[in-house]
């Protein structure tokens, strides 16, 4: 009985870590998977209307799928939430956003030399990708990270 209680106690943190993974990271992960499957309508559902007005969904889907292929799968893209304390103090303001907005910044490695930074806004019913910018690693370290 002691062993069972110990096993359960040790398993709880691992279970909670999976449950508490950021939804915004999962949104980016799912968006890349939809693009890889060439599901343009599903891929478009992750983006704001304003973002989709600036980019043709067919080209966007192809570009996203190519990023996944370059990294040999979504799981190899190192999709990561960048915490506020890791961001440059003025990064959000420099791209026209406010720190008061419910914004999440997600990085995804797209090849050996570049990273894509996605800006996700948490709405009342869903997370929406409102912006994205591709950087080489040096620029990413200088502009985005603290």
Quick: pLDDT tens for 48-92. Answer: 999 999 999 999 999 999 999 999 999 999 999 999 889 888 888
| pLDDT exceeds cutoff 80 at 17 | no
pTM across the whole model: 0.82
Share of the chain above pLDDT 90, in %: 67
Is-contact 144 88, C-beta < 8 A? Answer: yes
| Interior/surface letters 13-39, b for 16+ CB within 10 angstroms, e for the rest | eeeeeeeeebebbebbbbbbbbbbeee
Strands (E), 2-122: 80-82, 103-109, 114-122
Mean pLDDT score, 141-146: 89
pLDDT at 49 (0 to 100): 96
> DSSP letter at 127?
E
- Torsion sign, CA atoms 88, 74, 121, 13: negative
């Amino acid at each position: 009985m002691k062993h069972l209680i110990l096993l359960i106690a040790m398993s709880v943190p691992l279970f909670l870590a999976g449950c508490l993974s950021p939804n915004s990271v999962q949104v980016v992960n799912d968006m890349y998977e939809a693009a890889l499957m060439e599901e343009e309508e599903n891929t478009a559902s992750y983006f704001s209307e304003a973002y989709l007005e600036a980019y043709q969904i067919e080209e966007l889907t192809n570009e996203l799928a190519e990023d996944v292929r370059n990294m040999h799968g979504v799981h190899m893209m190192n999709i990561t939430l960048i915490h506020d304390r890791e961001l440059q103090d003025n990064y959000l303001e420099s791209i026209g956003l406010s720190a008061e907005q419910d914004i999440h910044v997600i990085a995804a490695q797209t090849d050996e030399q570049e990273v894509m930074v996605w800006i996700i806004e948490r709405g009342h019913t869903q997370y929406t990708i409102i912006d994205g910018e591709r950087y080489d690693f040096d620029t990413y370290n200088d502009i985005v990270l603290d």
